[in-house]
Copies of this chain bind each other. A is one copy, B any other.
Amino acid sequence: MLSKKTKYGLKALTYLAAQKDKQPVQIAEISKKENISQKFLESILLSLRKTGILGSKKGKGGGYYLIKEPKEILMTDVMRILEGPIALVPCVSLNFYEKCEDCPDEKTCSVNKLMLKVRDANLAVYRNNTLADLVST
C-alpha cells in the first residue's frame, strides 16, 4: 500500500508543477487545496527540499518551488525519497541492498527470483515517468 506521505508528496509536487509562474507557493495554500494536514505536509516538503527536488524561500512572499523543470524530475528519485526503496525486498535493491539473514542462497531463492522481476518492472515505470507526466493537461 502506498503511504500517505508519498500520496501527499506527489499531490504537492503536481500542484507546484501546475503553477504558471515560478513564484513560491505557501504550505498553507497547498495544504488547503489538496486536503492535506499542514503540519504533515511541512515535513514532507522539507524532505523534498533537503534532497534537492524543491527550493524554499522564507519571509513574506515565501514558500516552496520546484528547482528543476517538471520533465526533469524523475519518479525514481521522488519515489525513493518519499516511499523508500523501490524493491520490495532488500536483497534485490539497487540502492539499498542488504542480504536477507534467513535466506541461505539468493541464487536459488524463489522470493529473490520473483521480486527481481517485480523490481525491474517498477523501475521501468518510474524511470519512464517524470513529474510532467503527472500533470493533467
Contact = CB atoms under 8 A, between A and B. Distances in A.
Nearest to A135: B110
Interface string A83-123: 01100110000000000001000011111011101100110
A7 interface: yes
28 contacts: A1-B85, A1-B89, A2-B89, A2-B111, A2-B115, A7-B89, A7-B111, A10-B110, A10-B111, A11-B110, A11-B111, A13-B110, A35-B102, A75-B114, A107-B136, A110-B134, A110-B135, A110-B136, A114-B125, A114-B129, A117-B125, A117-B129, A118-B122, A118-B125, A121-B121, A121-B122, A121-B125, A122-B122
Interface of A: 1-2, 7, 10-11, 13-14, 35, 75, 84-85, 88-89, 102, 107-111, 113-115, 117-118, 121-122, 124-125, 129, 133-136
